[in-house]
Structure 1
């Protein structure tokens, strides 16, 4: 896309932003809403654009999964368009750091011999690839030449014998030619019709398109890479221009700026002395220095103009105050119950960004700047302000000394002893609230980060995760759960809903410092589901999207490492310290219920209850300033103490078996990666057969069938359903007993229990209302 197109998209986005700000402001001023349905619709209309309202929707719906089909229909938006995407810049901005960290981990693991099982693909140069292709091509031509010469020799040997028997018949030749033409024309026509039919089916979405990268897709990817390279070059150009402008401004303007500040402050001191007879103190550097003097003067002038208007309005406000007090008494009953939206932490940031756009970019004509080069005048203005701030600090300090000397001289002239002393400047705390987080004692103050990192890497606590994008976790979003919710049913989520929840709870909050500080804090997430449902894959995808460091504290992984009480204290300290220094970080535990089991099996020698007391403490120490999260996965979460489990994990995500839509989508995605598969292969049959199987089982079955040899044979021997069914039949499905156990456990999670209590209260109120109506009916009769 061109720069003009991006500018139009930017304008459109700003228009939507203004609309969102208006709706959000109205929502803050609105009265509490008792009706959950109306509150859901109000928040949902914002939620399709704003992430922060996810947590409010959870409290309204009493479910981690939100469905708002009516709002999507109102806004003409599909569920796929409304799905929040992971911003590319999360990974791209720190790509070099991620690559270097991964390379360091790989080299360290290679040195200790722990990376033998991982085959690192060798990158081949263009000349090496050409030589390899030439060698194989020469071998192929040699085999063909040998076969050709062999056939010629056989023909020569038999030519003498067949010469007498061969009698050419012209009529037979004509018949053969006609027959060949007929067959060939039929074949060509069938190919054309088949191609047209496939194109039509692809156009209307009845067939899965090939996953092979087409020429247009390659061109799009190339343009995207070129744009990223251009961004890097322009960033370097901008930084160089800033450095040049700063040096030039300091050289040319710093003296003028210094003289202007001195004259302004001296004039202010002079006028103040003439009015009061006293020499004023210059404000401290922490409070803003001499700048605050002139900003006060500007505000005082504006205040004096507005006092006349405000005095008139104050009289009206006194009259209306009595009415408001009476209304407030009535509204107290309304505020006792009902939904009231929490003020957004992002509102001030969004308002500031929108104001900056309106003042700087809205009416800026960029027709003359097609190359999108930096604006020198804007750079000059920003640098001038920075240089002015730097000069002001030094000038203010010199003027404070001058004012003190002037005061001493004035006191001597009056014959007074100087009682004026330097006031100790109080340190102003930037944040309004005190930081209640107690600093932990550093047990390794004399060690470098590299040595600690290498130690945990050698011990296997820090691990090299698989590079898996979140888009690999395929699955359709729900298209019926909204209607089921309307009928007071509690449907299970689909795989697409799970993917969206992982983005909202695990990836977006940790992707950026600002988002982490302003969004509701999620310290830990528990992901549960049967075997093969994709729990480990999601953990790897989270680490991949964030470029995070993975700390594995699975009981089996830390068994025998850092033994004893002192060793455990050191282990927790190292994880807590390095997870903050190497953030974003993911602390991972497989078998999340094991630290909280009531009775440990005699066979288990991993000491799973070792982290029972320290794990909740580790989670509580995570604050909004830390881009750290604990993710636990479990196949049997009911085995542990539920109270301790929910004290440790803030959110619970259950991955059920895939529904038909997700399973059909997964079959197409996994099978059509192979170019030899017929696009008319009936995957819906396989999706129906796989009812009860997980995605991992399907993937294992496909990998078992689609070997390298079988992929080569696809052109001559097309894939059949029987091959896949045979591979699938050797795998175990998720039986009903296990699924019922999961559902029974999930119904007792905190959010499910809260929803059940609310449902029971609503039923009780309905019964009371019906009884009252019956009594009224009897009295009237």
Structure 2
């Protein structure tokens, strides 16, 4: 673990150099940005996540958490910049992977496990509360949670079956004894004949058994050899090594909690000790230092000085300067400093002129100032100052360091005491000034009130204060009301890794040939993580990363849209709100009811954040003509849904996700004004389908590893992932799983079951392609290509004219 930590920190040194270079560089090449995005950030981010997950030292873990969060924020910033540069939501960089020998799986951002693990008790309590409400109203039949058996219950169950087996064996044994007693009356000659027959039978059984055992051993050796050279798909059965590794991880998690509690206890004890023992001494020392400085200043200038404000540092600013520079030397040095400033300005002007000329010659990409880089550099310097050269051989158990806690709490106590001392001495200085003015004969003037400084933050999208329509109600009552109405729902736990799919291996070449390739399932999975999961991980990430309020996920039926929404909620431990037209039909009627519904959703989603507000059939609110058969009033949220989305700010860990299987059936302008990002899930390619068949079939131990899954992948061209999963579930019943050893699985069974499902027909796929090419990002790219072609044509015309002249 120490080796992993050191490797991660060595790369963080490179990260610091890179961050400085990007921060101060005005123009960069696209390839440079991609290389740094892949090699320097994503690889480091995944290693830092592993370090934070397995490290047990509490003080070091806190610093690693900071670096991890800021690195994640920087990755997401660069992702948005690359989207604007490439004019595509998907970025392909196979040349960088080949250059640095990185696997495609290594550059896929891992979702930090602490998003969910550190809130496990909170998530469990919330699910229990919602499930209890659903049980009371009798609506828990919609979600059937799998029953988990404990280790003790499993042992009792095995013991019960073992006792039953022993009883059956005992019964058979007693039955054989009775039969032997009955046969004891037989003559001895017949007994010898029977013994000879039994010996011959036993020899025959031994011969057959030895042959069977030998064949099984040879088969096992052949299988291991084929597995070694990669000719057979490995089994997904969990081995003992995986169990041991899992036990080690769980033990580390327990140690993390134990050491965290120990650290908090040591902090409280140190804080109490310092307050009792050191507070009065600190106050006296500070007062003496400040009074001495006031006396010296009064003797030199004849005036009583003013203490700096608390925002600028207070008396700490004076004491830090004291002894280094005298008041007389300051006036002498000021003239020299002015001259040096003038020379620096002239140099900077010359440099800026040279930079302008370089910028004109080198057409690069302007880098936007980052919010995460300053914080990342500060966290890195903290690591360099504290942990870089620290000898940890004295602390092999990685316990908290008491000296670091003492130093930190001493600084905090000094700051608190300094504020109090500065305030009291400011009053004393005012009194002394008034007394001095009276002695000199000046009339006492009223001190001017210092105007309050208005803090101007650079953050946009601040939320306006809304009137609370339910001030007297508790949050539990609001949750209960929304749950009984079916708006808050309990979802099955599905992780993003269960959304199987390969990344694209051809799209880079198509992109180089100036073609606009469609994404693959692996690209969609990564994009969902970057837009919907990682920015909502914690408050700091949400504030540092670019704001994505809403996402539209479109694709044919069975492509996995709802599975992605379930995965987002599971990875974040988010609360799920369903505002689909079919869900809210007939609920909260009238204009006042709609206002109350939106107020409840906005209020509860912010209180229970992170939250996901979901809308199925996202095109229905913007349909031009509502069918007569549709009585759900889908246009009810047409005006209010954009308002709800615009009310979300960087302070809210809330995202609105819509899904649609026919997004072209509505007003496209209103749809794109509502949703910030559009994600299209295409039908799976051959690589994804082959991977899917292997993963789904080989989890059954009775299926031969030489089963031809490539044939099934070719046959399934045009089918979605959902249809393949349903086909396998229909075929692999419990009865069929028992029969696998006697009757192996055949392709005919799967093909017959698959033929009953509908594929994605060509007309539907063409409709999706036509719609996707008209999305805002694709249109923007088309406009950029047209402008480039127009510039090339103009340049060619100018050259032709010059040639004629």
* TM, length-normalised to structure 1: 0.91
Larger CA deviation: 438-447 vs 170-179: 170-179
User: Any residues of structure 2 matched to 1:523-602 within 5 Å, and which?
Assistant: 523-602=549-628
Asked if 1:293 corresponds to 2:321, the answer is: no
User: Any residues of structure 2 matched to 1:157-556 within 5 Å, and which?
Assistant: 183-295=208-320, 314=341, 316-317=343-344, 320=347, 323-324=350-351, 327=354, 330=357, 338-421=364-447, 423-424=449-450, 426-429=452-455, 431=457, 436-556=462-582
SS of residue in 1 equivalent to 2:583: helix
- What is the rounded CA distance, in whole Å, between the counterparts of 2:717 and 2:198 in structure 1? 59
- What is the rounded CA distance, in whole Å, between the counterparts of 2:336 and 2:738 in structure 1? 86
- What is the rounded CA distance, in whole Å, between the counterparts of 1:44 and 1:746 in structure 2? 27
Counterpart in the other structure of 1:15: 10
Alignment equivalent of 1:643, drawn from 669, 675, 682? 669
CA displacement at 1:99 relative to structure 2: 0.9
Q: Deviations over 1:218-270 (max 9, x none)?
A: 11011001101100110000000000001111111111101111111111221
Asked if 1:623 corresponds to 2:646, the answer is: no
Larger CA deviation: 539-548 vs 123-132: 123-132
Counterpart in the other structure of 1:703: 729
CA displacement at 1:26 relative to structure 2: 2.7
**Structure 1 residues 308 and 666, CA gap change in structure 2 (3 angstroms):** farther
CA displacement at 1:403 relative to structure 2: 2.3
SS of residue in 1 equivalent to 2:536: coil
SS of residue in 1 equivalent to 2:553: strand
SS of residue in 2 equivalent to 1:759: helix
CA displacement at 1:130 relative to structure 2: 4.0
Report if the CA contact (8 A) 1:39-1:339 is conserved.
no
SS of residue in 1 equivalent to 2:785: helix
**Structure 1 residues 611 and 434, CA gap change in structure 2 (3 angstroms):** closer
- What is the rounded CA distance, in whole Å, between the counterparts of 2:802 and 2:773 in structure 1? 39
Report if the CA contact (8 A) 2:698-2:705 is conserved.
yes
Report if the CA contact (8 A) 2:76-2:546 is conserved.
no
SS of residue in 2 equivalent to 1:675: coil
Counterpart in the other structure of 2:114: 89
* TM, length-normalised to structure 2: 0.88
Counterpart in the other structure of 1:3: none
- What is the rounded CA distance, in whole Å, between the counterparts of 2:759 and 2:177 in structure 1? 59
SS of residue in 1 equivalent to 2:784: helix
- What is the rounded CA distance, in whole Å, between the counterparts of 1:348 and 1:119 in structure 2? 48
- What is the rounded CA distance, in whole Å, between the counterparts of 2:348 and 2:314 in structure 1? 41
**Structure 1 residues 754 and 400, CA gap change in structure 2 (3 angstroms):** same
SS of residue in 2 equivalent to 1:354: helix
- What is the rounded CA distance, in whole Å, between the counterparts of 1:85 and 1:321 in structure 2? 43
- What is the rounded CA distance, in whole Å, between the counterparts of 2:104 and 2:360 in structure 1? 38
Larger CA deviation: 163-172 vs 756-765: 163-172
- What is the rounded CA distance, in whole Å, between the counterparts of 2:612 and 2:646 in structure 1? 15
CA displacement at 1:65 relative to structure 2: 0.8
**Structure 1 residues 18 and 438, CA gap change in structure 2 (3 angstroms):** same
Q: How many residues align?
A: 772
SS of residue in 2 equivalent to 1:228: helix
CA displacement at 1:584 relative to structure 2: 0.7
Report if the CA contact (8 A) 1:443-1:573 is conserved.
yes
**Structure 1 residues 297 and 422, CA gap change in structure 2 (3 angstroms):** farther
Asked if 1:64 corresponds to 2:59, the answer is: no
Counterpart in the other structure of 2:137: 112
Report the RMSD for the aligned CA atoms in angstroms.
Answer: 3.4
Report if the CA contact (8 A) 2:116-2:573 is conserved.
yes
Asked if 1:660 corresponds to 2:686, the answer is: yes
SS of residue in 2 equivalent to 1:255: helix
- What is the rounded CA distance, in whole Å, between the counterparts of 2:170 and 2:691 in structure 1? 47
**Structure 1 residues 631 and 298, CA gap change in structure 2 (3 angstroms):** farther
- What is the rounded CA distance, in whole Å, between the counterparts of 2:233 and 2:142 in structure 1? 35
CA displacement at 1:406 relative to structure 2: 2.5
Report if the CA contact (8 A) 2:143-2:490 is conserved.
no
Larger CA deviation: 577-586 vs 224-233: 577-586
**Structure 1 residues 392 and 233, CA gap change in structure 2 (3 angstroms):** same
Larger CA deviation: 293-302 vs 413-422: 293-302
Report if the CA contact (8 A) 1:32-1:334 is conserved.
no
Larger CA deviation: 754-763 vs 700-709: 754-763
Counterpart in the other structure of 2:50: none
Report if the CA contact (8 A) 1:595-1:610 is conserved.
yes
Q: Deviations over 1:251-298 (max 9, x none)?
A: 111111011111111112212222332223333445443223334658
Gaps of 5+ in 2: 44-74
**Structure 1 residues 738 and 299, CA gap change in structure 2 (3 angstroms):** farther
Report if the CA contact (8 A) 2:463-2:648 is conserved.
no
- What is the rounded CA distance, in whole Å, between the counterparts of 1:681 and 1:267 in structure 2? 89
Report if the CA contact (8 A) 1:43-1:57 is conserved.
no
Report if the CA contact (8 A) 1:549-1:582 is conserved.
yes
